[in-house]
Amino acid sequence: MAGGAATLHSIEEYRRGYEDEHRLRGFRSACGFVSATWGLRCPRCGRSDFAETDLATTGRLAAFTVQTVPSDEFLNDAPYAYVLVDLDAGGRVAGWMPGIRTEAELAIGKPVHYVPGYKPGLQFGLTSDDTAKSERP
């Protein structure tokens, strides 16, 4: 894909990916940076030398917060967690986890996985440590 970025997915396609197609669309830049965030150039190296890729749907918590005051679209879900997830094989995305009431339920590094089909937002669930181990080589 040297030089060309014409086939990159749109923001709407990213949303449809996790809402309807059970996939997380992203890109991998020639500099090594992997992300889901839309752009026509890599935000790290400024080049357009990147390739469309599907990101892993499993990963580990990079940072999180449990929100008791919700945003308007999550009015009936509080408290819930807003999470940043380091996906296996690269890329960090933002998402949320329903049903989390206190920060003690989560920890940075805990394995999580994408939970398809729940709207709105990109939803993650806790992966039990056993499952996580068996999924890893």
Partner 1 sequence: MREVWVVGAAMNRFGKMRESGREAITSVALAALGRAGLEPNSVQHTFLSNCFGVAERQAHLGPLLNTGLGIPEVPSCTIESACSSTSAALHEAFVHVAGGFADVALVAGVEKLSHLNTLAATSYFAMGADYPFETCHGATFPGLYATLANAHQAKFGTTAEELGSVAVKNHANAAMNPHAHFQKPITMEAYLGSPMIASPLRLYDCCPFSDGAAAVVVAAREVTPEPAAEPLVIKASVRSGSIADMHDRPTLTGLPATRFAAEKAFRQAKITPKDVSFLEVHDCFTIAELMALEDLGFTPPGTAGKMTSSGATAIDGHVPVNPSGGLKAKGHPVSATGAGQVVEIFEQFNHEAGGRQVPNVEYALAHNVGATGGSCSVHIFGHR
* Residue nearer to partner 1 on the CB measure, 37 or 131: 37
Q: How far apart are CA 25 and CA 57, in angstroms?
A: 10
Does 122 engage in binding with partner 1 (CB under 8 A)?
yes
Query: Which of 126, 117, 124 minimizes the C-alpha distance to 17?
Result: 117
* Residue nearer to partner 1 on the CB measure, 66 or 126: 66
Distances in Å between the Cα of 30 and the Cα atoms of 43, 58, 80, 96, 106 are 12, 23, 36, 29, 34
Q: How far apart are CA 16 and CA 112, in angstroms?
A: 21
Does 114 engage in binding with partner 1 (CB under 8 A)?
no
Smallest gap from residue 127 Cβ to partner 1 (A): 18
Smallest gap from residue 70 Cβ to partner 1 (A): 7
Does 35 engage in binding with partner 1 (CB under 8 A)?
yes
* Residue nearer to partner 1 on the CB measure, 10 or 131: 10
Does 103 engage in binding with partner 1 (CB under 8 A)?
yes
Does 67 engage in binding with partner 1 (CB under 8 A)?
yes
Smallest gap from residue 137 Cβ to partner 1 (A): 26
The strand pairing partners of 95, in sequence order, are: 83
**Residues lying near partner 1 in the complex (CB under 8 A):** 11, 14-15, 35-38, 43-44, 62-75, 77, 80, 82, 84, 92-96, 102-103, 108, 120-122
